[in-house]
């Protein structure tokens, strides 16, 4: 078995640590436009991930799962790197799915709200400068 064509090296990176690093046969993930599957001979690929379950088949032919927050997946040659803010490993799919639905999507909603408030503050500041400029 030629390792360069039959397996990929998966690395999941969090802001403070490497969560996992192992050889895999397949990776399934979800991007903004839907689910996709990566195999060792696929072309290089980059995707923006949404809060979802990331699954992979280990080189021992075991399917494993991670609940991940939004992030980036990059496949380059035989390397697949996933960078995300939050990820949870686990064997129980029900618990992992709940984690995605409750925690990660809630975090995403809070971030959207914060961005919206910030955008309104920026618009208000710009209007203030415009009004200040008109009064001079």
Residues in CB range of 51: below 8 A, 6 or more apart: 68, 69, 70, 100, 104, 105, 107, 108
User: What is the model's pLDDT at position 108?
Assistant: 64
Q: What is the mean pLDDT of the chain?
A: 84
User: What is the model's pLDDT at position 8?
Assistant: 97
Q: Which two tokens stand for residue 130?
A: 């415009």
For residue 32, the SS3 value is: coil
Annotation: CATH topology of 3-135: ATP Synthase; domain 1 (2.60.15)
CB 20 within 8 A of CB 88: no
Winning range, highest mean pLDDT, from 70-74, 114-118, 132-136: 70-74
Question: How far is it, in rounded angstroms, from Cα 92 to Cα 95?
Answer: 6
Question: How far is it, in rounded angstroms, from Cα 12 to Cα 87?
Answer: 9
Residue boundaries of the structural domains of the chain: 3-135
pLDDT tens profile 34-50 = 999 999 999 999 999 99
Average pLDDT over residues 6-12: 95
Q: State the distance between the two ends of the chain, measured CA to CA, in whole angstroms.
A: 77
pLDDT tens profile 64-94 = 999 888 899 999 999 999 999 888 887 667 7
- What is the percent of the chain where pLDDT is above 90? 47
């Amino acid at each position: 078995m030629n390792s360069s064509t039959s397996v990929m090296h998966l690395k999941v990176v969090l802001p403070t640590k490497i969560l996992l690093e192992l050889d895999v046969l397949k990776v399934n993930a979800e991007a903004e436009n839907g689910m996709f599957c990566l195999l060792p001979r696929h072309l290089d690929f980059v995707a923006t991930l949404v809060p979802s379950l990331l699954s992979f088949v280990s080189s021992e032919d075991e399917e494993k799962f991670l609940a991940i927050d939004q992030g980036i997946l990059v496949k380059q040659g035989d390397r697949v790197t996933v960078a995300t803010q939050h990820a949870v490993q686990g064997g129980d799919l029900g618990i992992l799915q709940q984690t995605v639905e409750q925690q990660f999507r809630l975090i995403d909603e809070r971030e959207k709200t914060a961005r919206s408030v910030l955008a309104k503050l920026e618009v208000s500041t710009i209007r203030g400068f415009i009004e200040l400029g008109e009064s001079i």
